[in-house]
Chains A and B, each alone.
Chain A
Amino acid sequence: MLSKLVSKQIINHGLRLTTRAASASAQPKLVIDRKPPVKFQKLFINNEFVDASSGSTFEVINPATGDVITEVADASEKDVDRAVKAAKDAFRLGSEWRRMDPAARGQLLYKLADLMERDRAYLAALETLNNGKPFKDSYNVDIPHCISVLRYYAGWPDKMNGKVLPVAGDFFSYTRREPVGVVGQIIPWNFPMILLCWKIGPSVATGCTTVIKLDEHTPLTGLYTAKLIEEAGFPPGVVNIISGDGPHCGASLVKHPDVHKISFTGSTQVGKLIGIEAAKLVKRTTLELGGKSPNIVFADCDLDTAVEMSHFALFFNQGQCCCAGSRTYVEEKIYDEFVQRSIERTKRRKVGDPFDESTEQGPQISHEQMDKIIDLIESGKKNGAKLLVGGKREGDKGFFVQPTLFADVEDDHRIAREEIFGPVMQILKFKTVEEVIERANDSDYGLAASVFSKDLDKSIVVSNGLRAGSVWVNTYDNFDPVAPFGGFKQSGLGREKSEYSLDSYSETKCVTIKISQRNS
């Protein structure tokens, strides 16, 4: 069926996987382990796995069933302190890490990538068990992307140049790009492995040391990766990985005086709290927060592609993407046709066991998230949007929500303003280019946006007008490691991936040496 074919091409094309491993057809039949054993449940500090100092643990749930998978160590303020001490020690002047050849840092990242490739099937199964995303996504999208991100950053360490400056006077003056120091990185639950690698990459490439706090919902793959870090040969203390909650563990990492920089990915609400705390110590802060990204479909688009990509833009990863295309603006001329085709596509979306090969959508991450989504669906009905598909919880085990579609949504509806983070699509109608740009920009968010149109001029002009960090034209969710990703306005501060990400992990030092006579 055409749209199924288009769908597969689009998943591969849209996420721009750069490893040959992504070509599933080239591989022997994969045996999927639906019950991957959990091997690491403790905090990873100084290349060792240690219990939390209080001995306490917390439960990790399988969102497809609601059952407890295992328990992992619950890091408290004391453990954060231990981890930061380890990172600080690894960063001291004269340490193995500080003295290492830049190219050798890169080789460690290549080694880590190779180990991840070796353990791809296991990591993908563990990610699916803990997060609920379909195995075919973990295996074909998440893990390969991690590998390509690490390999991308591996090439940077010996290429980050400063400048020699044409200053006035008898001076020799130059800049050095130095690592900012000990960094604290807090990652969310929607792409546990991917975000882990988006954080490890720049920290290692620039020569920083880090303490990474995994999200309390999804610590399992991060703790396994910790073992790979040790196996790859990173010196102790360079990457420390801990599991713990936000209010105690995360907060103490943010407040810790020996952490020089914070990188946080998560909700806008928590991002603001972190920004306020970090500002007290003038801590360098980068934030990747929420979004309510507008996807603009013009009448002169390729309709097949637009329908399929718009579906993907919203529903991918159970709708749990910061950059989900969660406001689909469709030009009046093709509105009815677009809505009709979207209804058909949404009805076809297969929800079920994430280990099942035909499943497109797994459970939401938690009961709490599921409740929030249902609540917003109710608000959509209340505000008068037209509920055309789904709208309820799916089944009574696990946290599944039916693929849901609203049409005739208005900009002031809650479902058009607030981040739902679930499989709920909003379709809105527009007439003119000027109007839709204004409506698209009418948000405190500004993470991403997209344009579907065949017209060269319109694509460029509209892209230029959208206040969003990533603008996709005739595609969606392209996450090439080479391209920067980050938000305008309250969607965040700073950029991840790409060369641009290196700046936030570096400090520029200017050295000026007096010489007896300078000549140009």
Chain B
Amino acid sequence: MSPLPDIEIKYTEIFINNEWHKADKGKTFPVINPSTGEVIANVEEATRTDVDKAVEAARKAFHVDSPWRTMQPADRGALMRKFAELLRRDIKYLAQLETLNNGKPVHDSMGDIGLSANCIDYYAGWVDKITGETIPAGNGHFLYTEHEPVGICGQIIPWNFPILMLAWKLGPALACGNTVILKPAEQTPLSALYCAALIKEAGFPPGVVNIVPGDGPECGNAIVVHPHVDKLAFTGSSEIGRLIQETAAKHHHYRVSLELGGKSALIICEDADLDYAAKVAHQALYFNAAQCCCAGSRTYVHAKIYDEFVAKCVELANKRVVGDPYDRNTEQGPQVSEEQFNKILGYIEAGNKEGAKLECGGKRACDKGYFIQPTVFSGVKDDMKIAREEIFGPVMSLLKYDCYEDVIKRANSSSFGLAAGIVTKDLTRALTITKRLHAGTIWINDYNTFWNQAPFGGFKQSGHGRELGSYGLEGYYEVKTVSIKLA
């Protein structure tokens, strides 16, 4: 592996009120480069009292007479677009930083930052388009609704798309005029802290966006239980999501949106162009080192094309370039952490034990860092662990089917319901299967294509609520009905 480029890490402190703070308890936590396993920085660790400070700052910034609340909507939008502009200005540096911390190939990081800037721009366009309604009532009344900002938003984001998840959270919250406390994942705080500096440079008033790096049990929990947080948004594992919902309810927080895990089914139909379908299946699973909540992690293949399709998947998996994420040819970097690395290897072992056929891969790749070989299991059965549980690693599971009614049932038999995909040329089949799948996003002849204007979120245990699009705004405003009685 080539020596790592020299990337200066500029921000490692807690960002509150447009200022940098040291942790109250005086502790820091290490941040690891998953390509090497080495510590690259020590970041101030926010705990309860730091969170209290951040909430207080957000509260002040949300006061009805504050600059943020009295600003024209279009000026809010201008600040957001300025932030997007700065993301694009610093895209090269940020991409290097994101890759250093997360391990994804640099060209993927570049893509993520471009998408993040576009997302902020998209939501900046909403600021002056959020309308209430006047509603026809009896002659003696004037009846209307206002869509007001919900207030102080506590947002907890994961490590798989650090900057992009920050953009997906800040976009709708700021568009609606809220203030924010955002906790980046403890594995990947660095790009979020750099974004904090950009937010200050863009000109946001102090306290509008506060970023508190820290862990889940102390820092995240402090946000969830804080009495002055008005709304919670979490993206992460289903396990933690459940815990957050429970905890929130115990503390009388009812506004909770969750983007959790998935075990999304990709259905390859008998009439699919096999080369094209294999490419779709490959991207659907392996993209981002398979660290996608919506990864197509159950590939259902029609019996008629099964053998040929398996061979094509194996061929593509073997060709996948794993290695130094700073190398332009690399397609797959390391998994994000040792913990994830071990968990994935554990699933591979389970797959072997339960009788799936290991077609290729199955071991660690490279000698340093948390790299795993692109792995393919065929002959997978629905009741195997690798077919039921979210692996979050580069392990493809191929399952055979021969009846469409049956495969739909099998696809829906998961307790998850985040996404699904269908590869077919047949219009009626595509639309019919679409209608019957229990998934929040369905891709047809495609996978992992995201639009800022398209809502994303899960059925069942994959979550509650939608992000992106106009739907993404719904959790961030509160509806007030006003009824004026006329004399």
Contact = CB atoms under 8 A, between A and B. Distances in A.
A19 B74 contact: yes
B403 interface: no
Interface in A14-49: 18-20
30 contacts: A18-B74, A19-B74, A20-B75, A103-B118, A106-B121, A107-B121, A152-B74, A154-B125, A155-B129, A158-B452, A159-B125, A159-B126, A159-B129, A159-B453, A161-B470, A456-B484, A457-B487, A460-B486, A482-B73, A513-B427, A513-B431, A514-B428, A515-B428, A515-B435, A516-B428, A516-B432, A517-B432, A518-B435, A519-B435, A519-B436
A460 B128 contact: no
A457 B141 CA distance: 10
B196 interface: no
B124 interface: yes
A151 B74 contact: yes
Contacts of A159: 125-126, 129, 453, 470
A200 to B, nearest CB: 17
Range of interface residues on A (Cβ < 8 Å): 20 to 34
A400 interface: no
B142 interface: yes
Nearest to B74: A18
A460 B75 contact: no
Nearest to B139: A464
A85 B79 CA distance: 40
Interface string B69-110: 000111101100100000000000000000000000000000
A519 B125 CA distance: 35
B122 interface: yes
Contacts of A103: 118, 121-122, 452
A155 B77 contact: yes
Nearest to A152: B128
Interface in B120-140: 121-122, 124-129, 131
A519 B434 CA distance: 10
Contacts of A329: none
Given A457-B487, A518-B435, A158 B122 contact: yes
The winner among A19, A152, A155, A518 for most chain B CB atoms within 10 A is: A155
A185 interface: no
Contact of A172 (B122, B126, B431): B431
Contact of B77 (A151, A156, A518): A151
A502 to B, nearest CB: 11
A342 interface: no
Contacts of A156: 125, 129
B287 to A, nearest CB: 21
Contacts of A516: 428, 432
Interface of A: 18-20, 102-103, 106-107, 110, 148, 151-152, 154-156, 158-159, 161, 172, 456-457, 460-461, 464, 481-482, 499, 513-519
Nearest to B434: A172
B470 A457 contact: no
B435 A460 contact: no
The winner among A464, A499, A515 for most chain B CB atoms within 10 A is: A515
A73 B428 CA distance: 57
Contact of B486 (A154, A457, A518): A457
B128 A481 contact: yes
Contacts of B78: 19-20, 151
B319 to A, nearest CB: 31
A450 B131 CA distance: 23
Interface residues of B, number: 31
Contacts of A152: 74, 128
Given A151-B77, A159-B126, A499-B129, 10 more contacts: A18-B74, A18-B128, A19-B74, A103-B122, A103-B452, A154-B125, A155-B126, A158-B453, A460-B486, A515-B435
Contacts of B129: 155-156, 159, 482, 499
A148 B122 CA distance: 17
Nearest to A457: B487
A155 B432 contact: no
Contact of B125 (A106, A172, A514): A106
Nearest to B485: A457
A337 to B, nearest CB: 27
B217 to A, nearest CB: 39
Interface string B418-441: 000000000110011001100000
Nearest to B486: A457
Contacts of A110: 81
Contacts of A518: 435
B125 A515 contact: no
A159 to B, nearest CB: 7
Contacts of B427: 513
A272 B364 CA distance: 78
A106 B123 CA distance: 12
Contacts of B131: 499
A211 B427 CA distance: 39
Contacts of B121: 103, 106-107
Nearest to B124: A155
B463 to A, nearest CB: 22
Contacts of A499: 129, 131
Contacts of B128: 18, 152, 155, 481-482
A481 B125 CA distance: 13
B74 A148 contact: yes
A515 B74 contact: no
A461 B435 contact: no
A24 to B, nearest CB: 17
A18 B432 contact: no
Contacts of B125: 106, 154-156, 158-159
Contacts of A519: 435-436
A40 B453 CA distance: 39
A168 to B, nearest CB: 15
Contact of A460 (B73, B432, B484): B484
B427 to A, nearest CB: 7
Interface string B433-457: 0011000000000000001110000
Contacts of A482: 73, 128-129
A281 to B, nearest CB: 33
A152 B81 CA distance: 13
Nearest to B118: A103
A154 B74 CA distance: 12
Interface string B456-481: 00000000000000100000000000
A514 B75 CA distance: 47
Contacts of A151: 74, 77-78
Interface in B38-57: none
Nearest to A463: B142
Nearest to A517: B432
Interface string B134-161: 0000000010000000000000000000
The winner among B81, B125, B127, B484 for most chain A CB atoms within 10 A is: B125
Nearest to A160: B453
B473 to A, nearest CB: 11
Contacts of B431: 172, 513, 515
A405 B402 CA distance: 87
B114 to A, nearest CB: 12
Given A155-B77, A155-B125, A159-B125, A461 B486 contact: yes
A110 B120 CA distance: 14
A156 B486 CA distance: 36
Contacts of A172: 431, 435
A482 B435 CA distance: 37
A102 B428 CA distance: 28
Contacts of B486: 457, 460-461
A481 to B, nearest CB: 7
A148 B431 CA distance: 42
Nearest to B429: A516
Contacts of A106: 121, 125
A41 B246 CA distance: 69
